[in-house]
Structure 1
């Protein structure tokens, strides 16, 4: 495929339903060249055209550019601490089909078997169309696509076992992929340097600079949950003391409330936060965790000079219920150069869909240049 053809597919992926005339302008080509490109991609079952609404202007009417109904799909996978979801995703981001399941902290072989089964079901349902797999996981992912997930006990996992012969395969940390998705299609679109933080069982995140996540030398950047912003008396499963991640999640809420350690820390935390929103006995614990979150965000803004912070997972829940506690601790911790106009803290637009949306985006980014 030519570079122009790939660029046109990227335009339609970003803006499905873009007019052929607008696509030509974005590519910097004439209408004749755009018509030829569209015809070529239509013959390859990659794009289709639909009539555009009358514009009232003179000249030949333009058309809308849409994904071909028999075109390629990516299979996006999101594995969390408590469950998994697989989606077949069209060019442009529409979901053609999905499968879901729970695992309640099961061993990796059991989770792998369930996810592989769901992937195979979608491959069978859509025949030749699935061409790539993108996987989001709750842990660090090395450059050779091996997973280390301390919170779930999944160590040195080969993620490529979820792929199939001939498919493009990509994988990444859930918070990093969610950050990328927020920068492309969510609250951080247009931000110069965005900081995304996601709380589930622990905390992860990513810095997105100019639309691309900073992943570090070994693919492990963004482990902000293991910065020592928490209580030094509490040891993290990673081996360190005072990790921020376990000071802002369900484990800390249970500790503050005197409850036993929850086997389902995400579901537990959501129950606790919902009870606080209703004025229940959990208010004080939720406010304390929110303040710890705000102080840590201030430290990261001081060090990274981000112009926007997005919160996903339980972070968005805390922001909705305890915005004053987060905001006060955040402002108190900022250097004076940031206090006059603090970078805003906002909830992630994509919410819990962030990681799987990011996995799909990453898969499409890798797939588009390979399409013939």
Structure 2
């Protein structure tokens, strides 16, 4: 190792506590210096020293915390106005959304852009233009582009996305020649990360998150991180054979759970043609009160509840969170859902089944999850050391 390399390695060893502090700021926005000291078991002097270092590095700033009577005053830790940033992007069926993300996980400059073309090259070119504009605006402060995609993602490559009508697509063109790091993941997985970090499943060691839009996706979260599987594509719960085995899914498998719970299932049960936009179609059916719609909704709610019970038997989560159409589907046929859920549980689970909660982040879940993925990347010890290099 060269002398310079040895020096960098040595400095990186000093950033462990700094990384832990920045992680807390991202997971607990508005956290005080005193709370950081308690969480990390730091002395007052150590907490003061590390936060001073982070101020000098343009990573954090501090403001007085609201007074709570007697006792030593403390400060709230906030992102430095010149600190590093993430660009989070959520690529969906008809639109893509973007937001600039500061170290506390807050979303700034949120923009929704409709697809002008369904062709992957055109959509990715549109996102690339936004990335390049953001890079021009923020310069070296922008460190990472974190992309949530409604499809199966493996190592920054989209393997398939039936909702977009895309097959295999390389996603790296979105960063163009900017030199930025690209992190890409499935939107349902990243929604689950958001719920586990700052949403309805916060504090749970094992959480199961499921979201229904066009199909069903989800993730198993262990201590705040998704179980990614051997090649990074775990969580494709919608493609488990919980459905009608006579039906062939666009993914290539038969009997996918997807086809029993979403707008396509509702249309089939109502004897109607498969809709071009299953999500909007499902929303309209869920507003209906006629007997045919109620029967179709009850069957989809039954399929949803039964499948969730199977996943509880497999994973033993502390809590389940639901997003997208799963929430109104459950509420539209609560008896059918609850009966199917309880009947599908192993006997020992029935006395105290894991609670099923509505997601806290709703439509922002995937964007917030992408933000969390990006922040994880820029608050590692090596990333902090790299950011600190110009000032050392």
| TM bracket (short chain) | over 0.9
CA contact (8 A) 2:260 2:303 kept: yes
Query: How far apart in 2 are the matches of 1:329 and 1:306?
Result: 18
Question: How do residues 1-40 of structure 1 correspond to structure 2 at under 5 angstroms?
Answer: 2-40=15-53
Query: How far apart in 2 are the matches of 1:287 and 1:126?
Result: 50
CA-CA distance at 1:166 after TM superposition: 3.6
CA-CA distance at 1:125 after TM superposition: 3.5
The residue aligned with 1:119 is 131
CA-CA distance at 1:147 after TM superposition: 0.8
Is residue 265 from structure 1 mapped to residue 261 from structure 2 by the alignment? Answer: no
CA RMSD in angstroms comes to 1.9
The residue aligned with 2:267 is 254
CA-CA distance at 1:211 after TM superposition: 2.1
CA-CA distance at 1:317 after TM superposition: 2.1
SS of residue matched to 1:53: coil
Which segment drifts farther, 164-173 or 63-72? 164-173
Which segment drifts farther, 35-44 or 221-230? 35-44
The residue aligned with 1:197 is 210
Q: Write out per-residue CA displacement over residues 62-103 of structure 1, whole angstroms, 9 at most, x where no aligned residue.
A: 222111122221111111122210111111121221221223
The residue aligned with 1:287 is 298
Change beyond 3 A, Cα 1:206–1:104: farther
Query: How far apart in 2 are the matches of 1:31 and 1:96?
Result: 33
Change beyond 3 A, Cα 1:3–1:263: same
SS of residue matched to 1:320: helix
CA-CA distance at 1:29 after TM superposition: 2.2
Q: Write out per-residue CA displacement over residues 208-258 of structure 1, whole angstroms, 9 at most, x where no aligned residue.
A: 122221111111211111111111222111222211111111111111122
Question: How do residues 297-316 of structure 1 correspond to structure 2 at under 5 angstroms?
Answer: 297-316=308-327
TM-score, normalization by structure 1: 0.93
The residue aligned with 1:130 is 142
Is residue 223 from structure 1 mapped to residue 230 from structure 2 by the alignment? Answer: no
SS of residue matched to 1:38: helix
Is residue 145 from structure 1 mapped to residue 175 from structure 2 by the alignment? Answer: no
Q: Write out per-residue CA displacement over residues 91-146 of structure 1, whole angstroms, 9 at most, x where no aligned residue.
A: 1121221221223881211211222222233333434432111111112211x321
SS of residue matched to 2:219: strand
Is residue 63 from structure 1 mapped to residue 71 from structure 2 by the alignment? Answer: no
Number of residue pairs matched?
Answer: 368
The residue aligned with 1:343 is 354
CA contact (8 A) 2:79 2:104 kept: yes
Query: How far apart in 1 are the matches of 2:38 and 2:192?
Result: 29
CA contact (8 A) 2:25 2:77 kept: yes
Change beyond 3 A, Cα 1:58–1:338: closer
Unaligned 5+ segments in structure 1 are none
CA-CA distance at 1:291 after TM superposition: 0.8
Q: Write out per-residue CA displacement over residues 296-345 of structure 1, whole angstroms, 9 at most, x where no aligned residue.
A: 11111122222321111111221232222211111111111111111122
CA contact (8 A) 1:198 1:205 kept: yes
Query: How far apart in 1 are the matches of 2:142 and 2:110?
Result: 13
Query: How far apart in 2 are the matches of 1:349 and 1:241?
Result: 33
SS of residue matched to 2:46: helix
CA-CA distance at 1:275 after TM superposition: 2.5
Is residue 329 from structure 1 mapped to residue 333 from structure 2 by the alignment? Answer: no
SS of residue matched to 2:168: strand
Change beyond 3 A, Cα 1:104–1:268: farther
Change beyond 3 A, Cα 1:311–1:63: same
Query: How far apart in 1 are the matches of 2:204 and 2:333?
Result: 25
Task: Identify the match of residue 363 of structure 1 among 374, 380, 385.
Answer: 374
Query: How far apart in 2 are the matches of 1:302 and 1:10?
Result: 32
CA-CA distance at 1:202 after TM superposition: 0.9
Q: Write out per-residue CA displacement over residues 140-164 of structure 1, whole angstroms, 9 at most, x where no aligned residue.
A: 211x321112413322211222225
The residue aligned with 2:8 is none
CA contact (8 A) 2:116 2:123 kept: no
CA-CA distance at 1:281 after TM superposition: 5.0
Query: How far apart in 2 are the matches of 1:134 and 1:31?
Result: 35
CA contact (8 A) 2:175 2:182 kept: yes
Which segment drifts farther, 1-10 or 352-361? 1-10
TM-score, normalization by structure 2: 0.88
Query: How far apart in 2 are the matches of 1:344 and 1:58?
Result: 39
